[in-house]
Amino acid sequence: MRIVVVAALAAELAPLARRLARRPPPPAGGWWSCRAGGREITLVTTGDGARRARQAVEALVALARPRVLVGVGCAGGATPGLGAGDVLVAERVIDEASGEIVIPPDSRWQRRGRALPGVVAGSIVSAPRIARDREAKARAGAAAPPGPTAVDLESWAWAGAAAGAGLPFVLLRGVTDPLDERLPLDFEGLRGAAGVLGRGRVLLAASRRPASWPGLLRLRGRLRAVAGRLADCALEVAAA
């Protein structure tokens, strides 16, 4: 069985890559495979943003013919009660702009996600822009039914591509910035023409706003912790 694990950013896959093969994660737009526990696991870094996310999954489905897709990555909390480090498994994925909903087509994989210790079930809303502040996150949360909700950029694209191919999927997001926490920089404004958030742009913006450094360092630490937790979750789902 081939299991594909996708994330937008290489940093979100780094702990899983080290545990599986002791090698770096694939760069944006890249992928590699290894065998673990008698199963072939392919790691894919789609790049950030909905367009790149959908294109990467569609291409991989055509080339690799996986049996299941596991999506992982960081997200913002869009409802009260989701704290930094909490992990949410999607019962549904919603496109904020259109209101379109993708419900995972295979309940067996969802049950595996819901059975993970400390994981909560709820909604993931994919926004057209990075949700920086409480207003933007709450707006995303209002697009979902009552219950725990996280906001990101890519999950709806992954879910749509998988569902369109009849591919079972499970999506897990870890919260790096809760509802009431404002991101230290306007990351949306730092994305280039292709929608990519470049490290160089972030560092340049931070150098011009020294007050943003504590928040950026805190966010980096949370990303690393969340990525480690998601690596545990992905391995447990794959082994179930």
Domains of the chain, start order: 2-239 (3.40.50.1580)
pLDDT of residue 78: 98
Share of the chain above pLDDT 70, in %: 97
**What is the overall mean pLDDT for the chain?**
90
pLDDT of residue 52: 83
pLDDT of residue 36: 81
Stretch 15-36: mean pLDDT = 90
Q: How confident is the model at residue 17 (pLDDT cuts 50, 70, 90)?
A: very high
Q: Which amino acid is at 36?
A: A
pLDDT at 190 over 90: no
109-126 pLDDT tens trace? 888 888 888 899 999 999
pLDDT at 194 over 60: no
Q: Residue 14, SS3?
A: helix
Residues with Cβ < 8 Å from 199, sequence gap 6 or more?
none
User: 150, 125 in Cβ contact below 8 A?
Assistant: yes
51-104 pLDDT tens trace? 888 888 888 887 778 889 999 999 999 999 999 999 999 999 999 999 999 988
pLDDT of residue 122: 95
Rounded Cα distance, 138 and 187, in Å: 18
137-163 pLDDT tens trace? 999 999 999 999 999 999 999 999 999
pLDDT of residue 6: 94
pLDDT of residue 183: 95
pLDDT at 127 over 70: yes
Q: How confident is the model at residue 208 (pLDDT cuts 50, 70, 90)?
A: very high
User: 90, 159 in Cβ contact below 8 A?
Assistant: yes
Stretch 175-201: mean pLDDT = 83
pLDDT at 196 over 70: no
Rounded Cα distance, 22 and 129, in Å: 34
Q: How many other β-carbons are positioned within 10 Å of the β-carbon of residue 20?
A: 23
Q: How many other β-carbons are positioned within 10 Å of the β-carbon of residue 104?
A: 21
The residues facing 122 across adjacent strands are: 90
